[in-house]
Amino acid sequence: MIVLFNVLPASAQNPSAGDDRGTGGRLVLVLPFDNRSGQPNLAWIGDSFPDTLNQRLNSTGFLTITRDDRQFALDHLGLPVDFRPTRATTIRIAQTLDADYVVVGSYTINSGRITVQAQVLQVNQLRLSAPLADSSDLASLFNVENSIAWKIAHQLDPKFSVALQTFLSASSGVKLNSFENYIRGISANTSQERIKRLQLAVQETPTYSAALLALGKAQYAERDYDHAAITLSKVPSNDRLALEAGFYLGLARFNAAKYAEAESAFAFVASRLPLPEVVNNQGVASSRQGHDATPLFLRASKADPNDADYHFNLAVSLLRRSDFNAARQEVDACLKLHPSDAEAADLRSRITAGRSLPPVASGATPAASSFDPLERIRRTYSEASFRQAAFQLDQMRALRMANLPPTQQATEYIQQGQDYLAQGLVPEAEQEFQAAITANPQSAAAHAGLAQVREHSGNPTDAVAEAQTSLKLQSNAAAYLVLARIELGANHLTESASNVSKALQIEPNNSAAQGMRQALQSRGQPIP
């Protein structure tokens, strides 16, 4: 099964599981919140809201507009990056970006407590929602941001069913100081300040994937390729940011002339999302090692026939094969798309003269004294292409699943939910398990999955209830292990051991159950 790290959850795929609008009208722009605290040193908090809200709204099946795209719109309209728009300007920004909704807000801070107010503008009707408010101690900033995100999700989609506690637990594992340094880092005006802040964020929370990705990209931009590769390689392969990290890891390795490692990084990304720029770069890295990468360049060119560079690369690769006719067709296609491409014109002359190209020796660069073309690499990661591809895959999945029997639908939702849990994407996992229960209310596995979600989000009461519901439907190891872990956490060793024993009777080789048995035995509790 191919796991796509940023796919839309069930509510965006199946109308019965969520919004009847399907995948249309779900593009959301979150603007920085206004700082009304009177404390300029807390302005970073306003910039942090889009980061948190974007993550949570993405998890609910909405597409959010990135910080880079928001800055592009401001620049396009001749506005400074730190501009705080009026309602009229907000509408202009939204229309520039084709947003369906805009989230605006403000916050105040008094005596160590933050109070937040947000509103949702529905662009096509120019209608502003009633204010959505929340507050918390400033030390619990994540809670107030996740709570506001949950309320916004309900405003956008009244059928949204993920529990508030799931949202509140979604930012666990990141220290607040790390979050502040991350936000200050990505907002910094100089590369030196950006790298310094991001390094601090990573030092305080070494597993902070967003900070690792941002730091790696900043190091790459400074041409510090070795350190960039080290940083980017720390993003786990099952993380939702792994694809973008893998792309820039490939570029860092490529620029350090470590072509085999670059090819491996690009191949990892292409195996999960074969965008043409990724497949192209895999081919370039392969070619630099003296390999025939024609099939890869052909894939890239077929995927995006309107890209001149892909035709150029394919022409070069075909010329190395001495396939002059095919190479001529490709370079002609390149020149048709980009008539002023001098290198392509030189390549066409070489093909016409019948002069082939030798295979590239590993580490080769173009000779200064003669025309010796090399395939072109893509140096930018297209998040827009990524999201479009993700949307298309989800639509295909939704169409396919709509024709499946309910029990089989539930099985696939459960598998996707388990994949999300493995990636730490708890809100997304909950939606999949909820969809599975909608498709098949008698699914013990779906209730066991929901029990795991409740356990992850720190809601033991509901976790026990879901696990018990699951066991009433069918005995299963997953539900018994949820009960065992909760009992162990409450220091109820006998009850925990009993549930572990029941799990092992069902699945003797279950590694989690075996780990629980060892933990209990180390505390002197025998397993029945």
pTM, full prediction: 0.83
For residue 18, which phi and psi values (nearest 5 degrees)? Answer: -170, -130
pLDDT at 385: 64
Task: Give the homologous superfamily in CATH for domain 273-396.
Answer: Tetratricopeptide repeat domain (1.25.40.10)
Mean pLDDT, the chain, integer: 88
Average pLDDT over residues 50-60: 91
Could you tell me the fold of the domain covering 397-522? 1.25.40
Domain ranges in the chain are: 19-160, 173-257, 273-396, 397-522
Would you place residue 383 in the very low, low, confident or very high pLDDT band (cuts 50, 70, 90)? Answer: low
CATH T-level fold of 19-160:
Rossmann fold (3.40.50)
Q: 70-97, pLDDT tens digit by residue? A: 887 777 778 776 677 777 888 888 888 8
The answer to whether residues 402 and 421 touch, using CB atoms and an 8 Å cutoff, is no
Q: What is the pLDDT of residues 463-485, one digit of tens each?
A: 999 999 999 999 999 999 999 99
Measure the CA–CA gap between 336 and 316, rounded to whole angstroms: 16
- Give the pLDDT of residue 113: 96
Average pLDDT over residues 14-38: 67
pLDDT tens digits, 300-326: 999 999 999 999 999 999 999 999 999
pLDDT above 80: residue 13? no
**Do the Cβ atoms of 341 and 334 come closer than 8 Å?**
yes
Kindly indicate the confidence band of residue 21, based on its pLDDT and cuts at 50, 70 and 90.
very low
- Condensed to tens digits (0 to 9), the pLDDT of residues 322-343 reads 999 999 999 999 999 999 999 9
Quote the pLDDT of residue 384.
59
What is the average pLDDT across 242-249?
A: 93
Chain center to CA of 377: 23
Express each pLDDT in 389-408 by its tens digit: 666 676 777 788 888 899 99
Those residues whose C-beta lies under 8 Å from the C-beta of residue 409, and which sit 6 or more positions away, are 14, 401, 435, 436, 439, 440
| Mean local confidence (pLDDT), 488-495 | 94
What is the Cα 429 distance to its own chain's centre?
Answer: 14
Q: Name the band, by pLDDT with cuts 50, 70 and 90, for residue 25.
A: low
Highest mean pLDDT among 92-96, 159-163, 503-507: 503-507
CATH 3.40.50.150 applies to domain 173-257: no
